[in-house]
């Protein structure tokens, strides 16, 4: 998918071009400053003029149905994607047709930053429910970044968030037992949903048990058994993908105690 950019003084306007491989994103007039996800999507610290500069850009918007790939590992890097709604699964292909899940980006989070270094995507992004994204053309974002030290800081902060996320995953896979891994995962989902205005103690998991297991480095049977153990301890109520943490404070305290 490619986008041609028509420029006018102080204005950037995205014009879609037909591409046979992927659906063409619609041109939208939604501004970053007016988006309810802005504080989650971009770090703070931008001045009024810099925010106005972002608002002059027009981002292609695309809907991705559940099960469809937004991009695949090896695809040429063109866009950074901001998730507007829904949840994705990022993953890497392993030998023997196996898959390693590396994350579950949700509304207000960015995807595609993994491709900045080499110009191709290192992971694939697949919608696990119906989703919508904004496609931010990286070349034009770079033009904006080059004109502002604050924008350069924002990009550094975005990259830093990715590094922190990767370190968190390594800690999950390298230093925790099964109960600690699943508890950390559920608390992470809880905190992210709370930041978006949803209940922190009751939510619907969009991903499958197998996908959770792949992300946490656990077998499917271990994931199911650990959910059952939490239920037996009275920490969770689970009905298929629906989870209720019976006492969020106690669940957090129990997890922290087991880690230390």
Q: What is the pLDDT of residue 58?
A: 64
Of 46-50, 98-102, 211-215, the least confident: 46-50
Q: Judge whether residue 16 has pLDDT over 60.
A: no
Rounded-to-integer distance, Cα 26 and Cα 174, Å: 43
Helix/strand/coil percent split, the chain, to 5: 40, 25, 35
Q: What is the pLDDT of residue 148?
A: 66
**Joined tokens for residue 184:** 């950390």
Rounded-to-integer distance, Cα 39 and Cα 108, Å: 8
Mean local confidence (pLDDT), 60-72: 94
Beta strands in the chain (DSSP E): 3-8, 11-16, 26-27, 60-64, 69-71, 79-85, 88-94, 98-103, 110-111, 124-127, 131-137, 202-204, 236-239, 242-245
Contact yes or no for 133/126 (Cβ under 8 A):
no
**What 3-state class would DSSP assign to 35?**
coil
Q: What is the pLDDT of residue 22?
A: 46
Mean local confidence (pLDDT), 226-242: 95
Mean local confidence (pLDDT), 38-59: 67
Rounded-to-integer distance, Cα 62 and Cα 132, Å: 6
**Joined tokens for residue 119:** 């110009």
Strand partners, 60: 27, 135
CB proximity list for 164: less than 8 A, separation 6 or greater = none
Residue from 194, 195, 220 nearest 207 by CA = 220
Q: Judge whether residue 163 has pLDDT over 60.
A: yes
Domains of the chain: 3-165 (2.60.120.10), 176-259 (1.10.10.10)
Rounded-to-integer distance, Cα 178 and Cα 65, Å: 32
Per-residue pLDDT band at 242 (split at 50, 70, 90): very high
Mean local confidence (pLDDT), 183-200: 92
pTM for the full predicted model: 0.80
Q: What is the pLDDT of residue 172?
A: 67
DSSP code, position 46: -
């Amino acid at each position: 998918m490619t986008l041609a950019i028509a420029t006018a003084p102080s204005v950037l306007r995205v014009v879609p071009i037909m591409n046979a491989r992927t659906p063409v994103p619609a041109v939208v007039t939604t501004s970053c400053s007016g988006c309810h996800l802005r504080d989650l999507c971009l770090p703070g610290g931008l001045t009024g003029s810099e925010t106005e500069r972002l608002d002059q850009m027009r981002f292609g918007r695309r809907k991705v149905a559940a099960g469809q790939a937004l991009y695949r590992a090896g695809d040429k890097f063109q866009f950074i994607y901001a998730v507007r709604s829904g949840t994705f699964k990022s993953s890497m292909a392993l030998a023997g047709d196996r898959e390693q899940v590396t994350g579950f980006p949700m509304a207000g989070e960015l995807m595609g930053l993994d491709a900045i270094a080499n110009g191709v995507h290192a992971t694939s992004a697949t919608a696990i429910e119906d989703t919508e994204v904004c496609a931010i053309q990286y070349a034009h974002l770079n033009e904006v970044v080059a004109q502002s030290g604050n924008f350069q800081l924002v990009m550094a902060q975005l990259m830093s968030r990715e590094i922190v996320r990767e370190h968190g995953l390594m800690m999950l896979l390298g230093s925790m037992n099964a109960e600690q891994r699943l508890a950390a995962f559920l608390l992470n989902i809880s905190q992210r949903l709370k930041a978006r205005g949803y209940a922190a103690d009751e939510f619907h998991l969009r991903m499958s048990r197998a996908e959770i297991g792949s992300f946490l480095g656990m077998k499917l049977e271990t994931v199911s058994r650990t959910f059952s153990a939490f239920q037996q301890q009275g920490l969770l109520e689970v009905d298929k993908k629906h989870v209720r943490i019976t006492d969020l404070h106690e669940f957090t305290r129990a997890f922290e105690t087991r880690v230390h």
